[in-house]
Amino acid sequence: NNIVTIFGIPFSKWGMQETVQYLTGAISARKPHQVITANPIMVMAALENPSYKQMMQQADLIVPDGSGVVWASRVGGDPVAERVAGFDLLHELMKEGERHRWRVYLLGASPEVVQEAANRLKMQYPGTEIVGYRDGYFGPEQDDEVIEEVRRTSPDLLFVARGADTQEPWIAKHKQRLAVPVMMGVGGSFDVISG
């Protein structure tokens, strides 16, 4: 059993390497997975907001992004292997993607930031293909158009950077239509990558 429940949230106990291995399997199987890298702020949000909690519980994999979560699992006597930070997981998946020629779509941040993040990731991981990107400033009336664009490019990985209160519920809501094997919220990662 690779799951430990902390404050009602089922966390994966896997470390980085096993997480990447598992998601590699998800991509070969073409089955849509929502991955949440949950930090203590998101756990707090889940405690305060039942619908956010329910949304998290429906994710396919929740990894412990934060030393607070690692600590809580140790206190509970069923420790997770290590912290699996979203930013690190993004890079590990980009690296693994070079071996498999994975296709990646970047969704979120401002137009300038996401374009620069795409350029830098292309340079750093030339074997992993960035098949599309777009900014994260759109309203629900544009959801259909955005989802169609993502589907058209048929990515293996979809990284969504729109802030934790928006990106996770958005992926959850559109998971079946997006149908990307690995869909993951990455918060402010594109801002960091673009420098």
Chain-centre distance for alpha carbon 38: 10
Q: Distance between CA 16 and CA 143 in Å, rounded? A: 32
Residue type for 53, please?
K
Nearer to ligand UDP, 29 or 44 (CB): 44
CB 85 within 8 A of CB 92: no
| Token code pair at residue 83 | 């912290």
Task: Write out the binding residues for ligand UDP, residues 97-136 only, by CB under 6 A.
Answer: 108-110, 136
Question: What single string gives the DSSP state of each residue in 2-22?
Answer: -EEEETTEEEE---HHHHHHH
In the complex, the smallest distance separating the C-beta of residue 185 from ligand UDP, rounded to whole angstroms, is 8
- Interacting span for ligand UDP (CB under 6 A) from 10-18, 30-38, 149-157, 186-194: 186-194
Binding flags for ligand UDP, 65-104, as an x/- string (CB under 6 A): ----------------------------------------
The residues that touch ligand UDP, with contacts defined as CB under 6 A, are 108-110, 136-137, 161-164, 166, 187-188, 190-191
